[in-house]
Amino acid sequence: MDTIIQTNRLTKLFKAEEAIKPLDFSLRKGEICALIGKNGAGKSTFFKMLAGQLMPTSGDISLFGKSGKEMEQTKKRMGFMIETPEFFPDFTAVQNLEYFRIQRGVVEKKRIYEVLQIVGLAHQKKKRFKEYSMGMKQRLGIALCLLSSPDCLVLDEPINGLDAEGIMEIRNLLLKLNQEKQITILVSSHILTELQLLAKRFLFIENGVIVEDLSKEALDNKSRKQLQLKVDDPAKTARLLEQTYADIEYKTLPDHVITIHNYVEDGPEINRLLIDNGVSVMEFRIEALNLEEYFLGLVGENKND
């Protein structure tokens, strides 16, 4: 599979502070990869280095297999939206994109109308940028990314500040670009549950370090449903579970609560096992962890190490 982005031991220091610690990363053609981290985790710094807005302190970046001076040519195959683009408030979408088309040396003027069609702004011919909703502004930002017909988009928080409808529009647009135009996408967001509906791969970043790199399947498995029980005798419950299920995965929590992470589908049998052996079950329910809970748990674990 073709590698679009490759980093090797990439670092960034600001004075004495290491914003990005030695980072090895590769993005393969066709992926939608989500970079997940709290504010200050290093997402924007990493993206700015990929875009050439910041110089790495050490390490290497290659785009489409090219690095150094050769990378300047391949950068034209990338579309970056790191911060909200600065558009002219009194210009229409066409006027704004015409300015950037000339500035970036995009030859065909019809490309403006093609990208506005793709992002769903083709019918907003007379509306000026200052009259746009936040969602329309973000879509125009993506249209600008698409102007040079890139093979890969790098988008930092493209759904930031959007309402539910705006978020859905951007999500559907990105899925369409990936599926119909075969555009590879690297995207960050702090709205973690939204990324679950979009990405196929998830990178968790904390203090400039990638702490986990998961496929969608692996993440779904990790954030899968679990059983939560409240019992009168946790020690006896644990003993019964271990005797009956050799590979049972469970945790004993405060207030007589036990969570079981596998055998979720065997819930009724587990309930019967406990009752038949004299354990009083006050609560028995199935819970689903979401991506946000998983991430916060992951970061919490790393902070304790």
pLDDT band of residue 81 (cuts 50, 70, 90) is: very high
pLDDT of 303 higher than 60: no
**Pairing between β-strand 58-63 and β-strand 32-36 as defined by DSSP bridges:** unpaired
Q: Regarding predicted confidence, which is higher, 222 or 40?
A: 40
pLDDT of residue 196: 84
Q: What is the percent of the chain where pLDDT is above 90?
A: 66
How confident is residue 290, by pLDDT bands cut at 50, 70 and 90? low
CATH superfamily of 3-220: P-loop containing nucleotide triphosphate hydrolases (3.40.50.300)
CA distance 110 to 118: 13
With tokens 């919490």, the residue in question is 300
Closest by Cα among 128, 132, 131, 156 to 142: 156
Distance (Å, whole) CA 116 – CA 173: 12
**Per-residue pLDDT reduced to its tens digit, 254-281:** 999 999 988 888 999 999 999 999 999 9
Sign for the pseudo-dihedral over CA of 294, 297, 302, 305:
negative
Predicted confidence (pLDDT) per residue in 158-176, tens digit: 988 888 888 889 999 999 9
Mean pLDDT over the full length of the chain: 90
Whole-angstrom CA distances from 144 to 26, 103, 151, 153, 229 are 25, 12, 14, 11, 52
Which residues make up the CATH 3.40.50.300 domain(s) of the chain? 3-220
3-state secondary structure of 197: coil
pLDDT tens digits, one per residue of 50-62: 999 999 999 999 9
Answer with the residue of higher pLDDT: 287 or 156. 156
44-69 mean pLDDT? 94
pLDDT at 151 > cutoff 80: yes
Q: CATH 3.30.70.100 residue ranges in the chain? A: 225-288
pTM score, whole prediction = 0.79
Tokens 């050799």 correspond to 246
Question: Pairing between strand 250-253 and 78-81?
Answer: unpaired
pLDDT tens sequence across 10-25: 999 998 889 999 999 9
For 225-288, CATH gives: 3.30.70.100
Alpha helices for 105-196 (secondary structure H): 110-118, 134-146, 164-180, 192-196
Mean pLDDT of 120-149: 92
pLDDT at 190 over 60: yes
